[in-house]
Structure 1
Amino acid sequence: MSAPLLSIVDVKKNYGAVAALDGVSLDVGAGEFFALLGPSGCGKTTLMRCIAGFETPDSGRLTLKGEDLSGVPPYRRPVNMMFQSYALFPHLDVFENVAFGLRRKGESKDVLQARVSELLEMTQLASFGARRINELSGGQRQRVALARALAPRPALLLLDEPLGALDRKLREETQFQLKEIQRKTQTSFVIVTHDQDEALALADRIAVMRAGKVEQIAAPEEIYERPATRFVAGFVGETNFIEGVITRDGAAFFETAFGRLPREGCALPDGARATLSVRPERIGVSRNGAGVAGRVEDFVFRGEYTLLRVRVAPDVALRVGAYEGRFAIGDEVTLAIAPDAGVLFAEAR
């Protein structure tokens, strides 16, 4: 494999008694769209600021393009940042906002004109060059900020919650545009977000963070389908946590409060307490099929499917995705959980 563009090794950063970063290690490849995902206070913004040079780690090592970043000030790093607030200049038009970094670098008029025109075309703003910032919509401002950040051709672009100010529909539309622009420029992007859907939609790989540590680094599909920890399973997407005990009778079974579930590929020993994390869409539901008996307690219409809450034991209700048929509160149903559905975590919590 080729050397990573950005390498972070055992980085630690404390604020008093609080460990904002507690031994973080990860790599970002050239041309990769990488996401730092986690709840507020997990350390993702601190890590981004360390990469940019706005914070200095207490220990550890950061290298970019093989160069140690220790002591390198922000303005000398081949890194640019797009802020959540966009930080555009209201007294300048769109063209001059995008050209700002190029003028500071002393680029010639011809180079500046060509680069700004290229980026305005790429961000679908070719006819907006003379507009003032206050004449633009939120989505258009976001694209101006992106074009300005990309103009000096940084090796790495950091995006701090870049779509947070947009409404849901515009945010979803902008995700496609952002990914397309990243592919066209082949610039490495690192996005910081607490929005799991955003990370899953945009990133080639995701680092899920919690309390200053990295819980898992993987492609979106693996993060969702094979979470490494119970925290990742609960934070990324909806899931059911089912408590039980492993029993072995030739094959492996998971004994729960609502019955015995066969488990394929289970490596846990007989008698081990565990938690099964299973996504709502991995549980089949029917009115008279074989499986776990339950009663519909509530439901939420989600467009392409209906999310049911089904009581299967006095203390256990499962969320189930119903993609066919109509169900009402009080309906008797049966649930089917495949032997390979979900992920087992040892030791119930």
Structure 2
Amino acid sequence: MSAPLLRVSSVSKTFGAVVALDDVSLDVGAGEFFALLGPSGCGKTTLMRAIAGFETPDRGRISLNGDDLSGVPPHRRPVNMMFQSYALFPHLNVFDNIAFGLRRKGEAKEAVAARVDELLEMTQLAPLGARRINELSGGQKQRVALARALAPRPKLLLLDEPLGALDRKLREETQFALKEIQRLTQTSFLIVTHDQDEALALADRVAVMRAGRVEQIAAPMDIYDRPATRFVAGFVGETNFIEGRLERGGADAALVTPLGRIACVADGFSDGARATLSVRPERIGVARDGEGIAGIVENFVFRGETTLLRVRVAPDVVLRAAAPHGARYAIGDAVRLSIALDAGTLLAEEP
């Protein structure tokens, strides 16, 4: 991005002996849906609060549209936040909740009504404008909170675990609604979440955080298919880690492991290097006979489109493989597991 909307440059923040942010840098483009993903305590919420103006970085710079936000109070930043709890006013109806911020800014009555009507239509709440908050479902409350946050036309909308209070089915439905509303408004969204599925489903790009640092920033498919570190590979989705020593012979490379030689793509790795191959369960082929790593089905979980198998391939090694729908395996079945040349991602050994 040549001219990002939001730029976070070398931001650090400590709370006593706790390092919450450690030299964090990232950019968010205009109209981009960006996700901060990581476990509790990784620093993602602290970073969001620093962008909103609720925390002051110890070092570094945060700018919006090229303007330094240092010293700018939260209410003067062209940024709005949608809280996990929604923080709706129970004594006001839907229309008045959405209109609240606009009225506080002193906008004309006609302009307020037009903007609220536009957002009611966009969030599919038009028939519910007169409803009280306690008369709404969880999904409807979520859309009211979103509409209220969007009403002042912020340049950047921060969303703090926005779907955490919804059940799984409603959460999946709301993901589509969020993406559509973001597309229609072309507002930059920055979502903070610990839910990997949510980040991958919603975001144009994802920043995976760990212990106050950014481990990788990439598109969701690249985060999943080409993780940069062992932490990213293990945190985002399910994977198998197979450790070994690399052997190179011209353009060919193989990881020498206790399970045998596994051909792999090893760009950037030298002969003899210690490395770990990360292989997603769905990238491991399963057959009852033929070539491959011999193993015994130890357990399985049916997941509809696939069946996840736990296969014992050595006394101290279990691999997970996803058999396609319709393939039936039982505990104790002998199987062969195959790993194609491009099935995994080779990761450097971490200190």
Tell me the TM-score normalised to structure 1 length.
0.98
2:21 corresponds to 1:10: no
What's the % identity of the aligned pairs? 78
Assess if the C-alpha contact under 8 Å between 1:278 and 1:343 holds in 2: yes
**Map 1:105-124 → 2, pairs under 5 A:** 105-124=105-124
Counterpart of 1:332 in structure 2 is: 334
1:143 alignment partner, SS class: helix
Q: How does 1:83-162 map to 2 (within 5 A)?
A: 83-162=83-162
Q: What amino acid is the match of 1:39?
A: P
List alignment gaps of at least 5 residues for structure 2.
Answer: none
1:348 shift after superposition: 6.5
Instruction: Kindly report which structure 2 residues correspond to 1:257-276, keeping only aligned pairs within 5 A, or say none.
Output: 257-276=258-277
Q: How far apart, CA to CA, are the structure 2 residues paired with 1:268 and 1:70?
A: 42
Alignment of 1:60-75 (within 5 A): 60-75=60-75
**Gap change, CA 1:60 and 1:256, over 3 Å in 2:** same
CA distance in 2 between counterparts of 1:342 and 1:252 reads: 13
In structure 2, what is the Cα distance between the partners aligned to 1:65 and 1:346? Answer: 37
Aligned-pair Cα RMSD in Å: 1.1
CA displacement 1:204-249 (0-9 Å, x = unmatched): 0000000000000010011000001110000000000111111234
User: What is the letter of the counterpart of residue 310 of structure 1?
Assistant: V
Mapped to 2, the partners of 1:26 and 1:272 lie a distance apart of 31
Within 1, Cα distance between the matches of 2:246 and 2:185?
Answer: 51
Distance in 1 between residues matched to 2:247 and 2:121, nearest whole Å = 62
Offset of residue 252 of structure 1: 1.7
Given that 2:4 and 2:65 are in contact with CA atoms closer than 8 Å, whether structure 1 keeps it comes out as yes
SS of the equivalent of 1:164 reads coil
- Confirm or deny that 1:307 pairs with 2:308: yes
2:192 aligned residue: 192
Instruction: Kindly indicate whether residue 206 of structure 2 is the aligned counterpart of residue 241 of structure 1.
Output: no
Q: Partner of 1:179: helix, strand, or coil?
A: helix
1:118 & 1:211 partners in 2: Cα distance? 41
Distance 1:348 1:191, change over 3 A: closer
For residue 347 of structure 2, what is the aligned residue in structure 1? 345
Alignment correspondent of 2:283: 282
Report deviation, 1:326.
Answer: 0.4
Is the 8 Å Cα contact of residues 257 and 316 (structure 1) preserved in structure 2?
Answer: no
| 1:190 Cα offset (Å) | 0.3
Shift of 1:265: 4.1
**Aligned positions, number:** 349
Q: What amino acid does structure 1 have at the position aligned with 2:204?
A: D
Structure 1 stretches lacking a partner, 5+ long: none
Which letter does structure 2 place at the counterpart of 1:271? G
Map of 1:320 onto structure 2: 321
Paired residues of 2:264 and 2:344 also in contact (CA < 8 A): no
Question: In structure 2, how many angstroms separate the alpha carbons of the residues matched to 1:205 and 1:346?
Answer: 23
Task: Tell me whether 141-150 or 261-270 shows the greater mean CA deviation.
Answer: 261-270
